[in-house]
Amino acid sequence: MRRFFLVSTAISTLVLATACNEPQAPAKSAANTDEVKQDANMSENILLAEWTGPYGGVPAFDKADLNDLKPALEAGMAKNLAEIDAIANNPAAPTFENTIVEMERTGRDLGRVFSYWGIWSANMSSPEFRAVQGEMAPRLSEFSSKITQNTALFARVKAVYEGEEMKTLRPDQQRLTLLTYDGFARNGATLDGEAKKRYAAINQSLAKLHTDFGNNVLADEEGYVTYISADQLGGLPASFVQASAAAAKSRDHEGEYAITNTRSSMSPFLMFSTERDVRETVWRTYYSRGDNADNHDNNAIIAEILKLRNERIKLLGYDNYAAWRLENRMAKTPERALELMEAVWPAAIARVAEEVADMQAIADAEGANITIEPWDYRFYAEKVRKAKYDLNSDEVKQYLQLDKLRSALFFVAGELFDFDFAPVPEGSVPVFHEDVTVWEVTNRTSGELVGLWYLDPYARPGKRSGAWATTYRSYENIDGKQTVLGSNNSNFIKGAPGEAVLISWDDARTLFHEFGHALHFFSSRVDYPTLNGGVRDYTEFQSQLLERWLSTDEVINRFLVHHETGEPIPAELVAKIKAAATFNQGFATTEYLASALMDMRYHTTDPAGLDPDKFERENMAALHAPAEIPMRHRSPHFGHVFSGEGYSAGYYGYMWADVLTADAAEAFAEAPGGFYDKELAKKLVDNLFAIRNAVDPADAYRAFRGRDARIEALMRDRGFPVTTEDDGE
């Protein structure tokens, strides 16, 4: 598995990293008396216990006790350090097998603990968990530093990396060795003396700050709920009204309607509500998360994070944080990432001007006597959609049932990936909440078990907002093949009992997107756990590509049926959806790019004395960002960047990956069998899914497409002007 010492200093990022490369078979270690005694104590803690039961063993989510978390972490870290020391102090000369492969076997007990940590952190957070998280985050960072700064261990890794044996290894083994060496060298292993100590101290401080940032955002999402009365429901669809009533009732506000402080609640309310003053309240509440000048305000935390990140990379000799972060990404440099974003930005804001003009014209014609503001954008965009395309989003929503869309996911997985999904017998696999359901995944042709898929679809207090995919155990084949335990998590509003859960077209795309990550997990055929990781500006490509299958005729004709009548979606409505495919691209592209550009500017600027609020305002003005659209993630709640380091100086990666996505989609559109072309699907799985990070991403894409991706595909895809022909991203 990806070893814990190579992950980000941020504990939330550590969870994400380990979630993609989870526990495997028991680790090898010396059998002395102290370790036997330690193992006996560990076996009594369910969070550390080996997974038993069907499907190669499953997490005991039903028996997990938060009181066991701290001792489990302590014991897991101790054992992991003992395993590492055994490798570092091995008297035999360093080899790929006794150093690199043995390191791949370490940390599996701790990995099991982090499967539970991830659930408490993302799916079922509580004040009690956050107390443990706050205490343990710096200690986990200290633990990580003890390994990255283990001089003897790094010497062995370096010897393998620079030795003659390296030339004889298979390509995937060479890449594993490179990634292992790079993980040390880029994380302080080359430092000496006080610099090495300071590096570790910075990591500990950042771990706490990242944790505090994320918890502050979650506190504002839980603590700020807008309640409205029955006379304020104008324009809202019946399904949304029912879900809002249920949300209010669950919060002891029966008789009222709750607009929760999450995107899945905010966005449809702004789209449909005729109550402009309430729209403004909901908008301001959502975009002020982490920015309320109270105990959960994140501005000072941002400034401190940036200062510490900058100090840390200076110790390594880099000009700025982004230069360090992008060195081993596809983009390679901040300049290349900015070049892509700045090529698209002018077309995006020009399209926004057109969209706002269309909205203002409708508002003026209605005699609304307003100027379009951010809380009006979604509302009037919907009116423009109806006027231009005679397309009503709520009408489309009547055909988008969550259960049917789940079946559509399974259909696509079968046609392209040869996977079958079947529900497991009730009670056979433990779950952490009653809303979670589990499916068995098998290879359709061979019947071989691939793994299990867990789905946690609904919003609830204590669950972080958004949608994500993770694994509890990833594929590997060091000591035998491992079955995959993957999960998808969403925040749909749960309807009243017996009512179909209807979601928007955008939410349906997100469902397909996150399932793309799951298919990436299940497709893996790499031998070594570390190779299940990925390059950040590439790993979103596979999931973004899977979104394209939502709008294929095969999915539309089979699975989009009316939730009441069962009638298939009318052909004329489908035609309207496809005609409006590039509608509102100004909004979608600009709100994303504003956040991505801000992320890069934060991490290429000297942070001394930086005021995040002022910095955000000044940079948005310098970019001539439209006043009608905020950043998708304003700085005080930009969790991708400040609650961990997984996307820091890397949020641009979604657009980098979308260049690949648009280019690959054109390949399927041109194939004889279209999006279900068997030959091209096999090339997709073999070259872009199964190999994970065992091959350099640029080489992997060329193997699939025969050339580099071209930005023109992205511009065409978004309906923007195409002015040049280019052979690269």
Cite the beta strand spans of 444-506 per DSSP E: 449-458, 468-473, 484-492
Helices and strands (H, E) in the chain, number of each type: 29, 7
Alpha helices in 535-611 (DSSP H): 536-546, 553-559, 571-579, 585-602
Give yes or no for a contact between 8 and 17, defined as CB atoms under 8 angstroms apart: yes
Cα dihedral across residues 112, 114, 115, 119: positive or negative: positive
* Residue carrying the six token digits 């641009």: 652
Beta bridge partners of 486: 453, 471
At residue 245, what are phi and psi to the nearest 5 degrees?
A: -65, -40
Beta bridge partners of 227: 258
| CA-to-CA dists, residue 368 to 274, 295, 373, 417, 487, angstroms | 12, 39, 13, 52, 46
At residue 495, what are phi and psi to the nearest 5 degrees?
A: -80, 180
At residue 453, what are phi and psi to the nearest 5 degrees?
A: -120, 120
Identity of residue 544 = Q
Q: Provide the token pair at 324.
A: 């360090």
Cα dihedral across residues 202, 205, 207, 209: positive or negative: negative
Give yes or no for a contact between 441 and 452, defined as CB atoms under 8 angstroms apart: yes
Pairing of strands 484-492, 449-458: parallel
Give yes or no for a contact between 153 and 189, defined as CB atoms under 8 angstroms apart: no
What lies within 8 Å, CB to CB, of 678 at 6+ separation is none
Q: How many C-beta atoms surround the C-beta of residue 398 within 10 A?
A: 21
Catalytic residue positions? 514
Q: Provide the token pair at 32.
A: 């002395």
d(CA 545, CA 514) in angstroms, rounded, equals 11
H or E element, residue 419? strand 419-423
Instruction: Using alpha carbons only, give the angle 129, 132, 135 rounded to the nearest 5 degrees.
Output: 150
What lies within 8 Å, CB to CB, of 720 at 6+ separation is 344, 347, 348, 351, 585
At residue 256, what are phi and psi to the nearest 5 degrees?
A: -110, -175
Instruction: Assign 420 to helix, strand or coil.
Output: strand
**CA gyration radius, the chain:** 25
